Structure 1
């Protein structure tokens, strides 16, 4: 990523804003709603990479913890983080790191981005289910049925969309010289180095 730290912080803030906006896209379900947060986390990490993507997710969580209404349903506060959905939100941080490390190791292709987003979905659902079990004093079966099973198919669709769209947006931003990643030359940089 570009060396300018101010620019990186602006990108991280922009990533956090994307997550906050997509978090407001909600499909209500009885126990845990389906939101655009997981799609947004996947998009942001795919587009911005491990470091800036993870910083975006951390900033999003901190804003929400500070009672700024960035979580789904225009909510915020520590009560959300310790409530039934808190495990998913905290899990976004682990998701961002693991997805980013996968993409760093295997490269940014649509296939790899989809795989990374599928892995991210599993990480998020694992954190969310474990937290739901603890907070709700549920059995593992009940926690899985309420906290993971309803989201698997939707999660796969969101992972495919985030991987596909994320790579396309990332390439466009690289071509426009708005982002540049170390070890990855934009087409203009490749032409200039010949």
Structure 2
């Protein structure tokens, strides 16, 4: 397969993962400040399967879809008001989280253990960035932001990091053996 065809396939796959993130955003457990959603699991899967560049691209596409008004954010919401609202930092952080998660796996190895570590790092990036954003945008104290935007998500985040690692590495290996993903650990851009 030519480099151009491979690149197009990966870009289309990133777009597909953007849709998956949007679908998983609708799996919601409401909490007072920030709901628990399936978005972070989907972002972790995108990064684990697609790598740094295309995982981040899927998060960028997802954010842009929501920014222009397509209801892909939690609770079928959309618009710049969501991005610049109290929980928007979590959405923006998906880009960095996906890139760092994918990069860690590319620099180490595509094993479940390394992918779990990478996804745990991605979770911390997401929670830290989102909590700081929540504090600033909702005018909360650091304690309020930490209690409302960080601590309720630690256990679920660890579980999602494990699931993203386990399912992601399994899916990645199967997609590579079917020649639907490049066979190298480092996915080219």
User: Counterpart in 2 of 1:51?
Assistant: 53
Q: What is the number of residues matched between the two proteins?
A: 184
For structure 2, which runs of at least 5 residues remain unmatched after alignment?
A: none
Hey, what does 2:132 align to over in structure 1? 130
What's the CA shift for 1:18?
Answer: 1.0
- Which range is displaced more, 33-42 or 3-12? 3-12
| Structural RMSD (CA) | 1.4
TM-score (norm 2): 0.93
Unaligned runs of 5+ in 1: 185-194
Aligned to 2:71: 69
Asked if structure 2 preserves the Cα contact closer than 8 Å seen for 1:129 and 1:147, the reply is yes
Name the residue aligned to 1:35: 37
Matches of 1:2 and 1:51 in 2, distance apart? 19
User: 1:168-192 deviations in whole A, cap 9, x for unaligned?
Assistant: 01011111111114467xxxxxxxx
Quote the residue 1:105 is aligned against. Answer: 107
- Provide the rounded CA distance (Å) in 2 between the counterparts of 1:63 and 1:130: 24
Residue of structure 1 equivalent to 2:28: 26
After TM superposition, the score normalised by the length of structure 1 is: 0.91
Alpha-carbon distance, 1:6 to partner: 2.1
Give structure 1 regions of 4+ aligned residues with deviation exceeding 3 angstroms.
Answer: 181-184
